[in-house]
Amino acid sequence: SSMNNKLIVALDVDTMTEAERLLDLLLPEVKIFKVGIRLFTACGPKIVKMISSRGAKVFLDLKFCDIPNVVSRAIESAAGLGVFMLTVHILGSRRMLTESMKAVRSIARAQRPLIIGVTVLTSFNQDSLREIGIEKPLIDEVLSLALIAKQEGLDGVVCSPREVAPIPQAIFFSNEPCAFISYLREISATFLSIFSGPQA
């Protein structure tokens, strides 16, 4: 169903074997799988190739945050692997985001990875934000970062469920399609659900 195309299951495991077992259970109902730093560090690019070879898409959630040139090259490598979607930290700077989008500009829209900006990690609260020198209310920081992502042409943002409603109201009410990702915890699995914004 079309809903299945919007459901992303996180492969929060440590080995190729465990990942393959989850694919055995969930294919073809689930069509997109998230690979984070835990699994990617353990298995490397071959985990992406394995998932792709089985007809599924990969959301590469490595949250790139480094000097612009380094992130740009990493995105080129990810595009070469054929990932469907990847994440960058908006806090990495406007220039990093500009270079991130330049890295995929030469690739046809249908083939290039979607670039999704990370606002504030879901583990943060107001106190932990203050500890790193950010005094503004958490929701304001999220909205501020989401606006930067929008201005830099990113394809969407990652945020926690509590920000899903305010973000589109504040920023994305336009005729451009965009995606929102929120974390849902159900049973022992982590799901990501993409919400489509207003369509042209």
**Cα 178 to Cα 170: distance, rounded to the nearest angstrom:** 14
Identify whether 34 is a catalytic site residue: no
pTM score above 0.75: yes
Segment 119-174, tens digit of pLDDT:
998 889 999 999 999 999 998 898 899 889 989 999 888 877 666 666 665 554 33
Measured between alpha carbons, how far apart are the two ends of the chain, in Å?
Answer: 22
Residues 6+ apart with CB under 8 A from 186: none
Q: Single out the catalytic residue among 6, 63, 102, 150.
A: 63
Segment 76-86, tens digit of pLDDT:
999 999 999 99
With the CA atoms of 160, 71, 68 and 145 taken in that order, what torsion angle do they form, in degrees rounded to the nearest 10? -10
What is the set of domains in the chain, with CATH numbers?
4-196 (3.20.20.70)
- Compute CA distances 126 → 133, 137, 139, 170, 183, whole Å: 11, 7, 9, 20, 19
Do residues 10 and 189 touch, judged by C-beta distance below 8 A?
A: yes
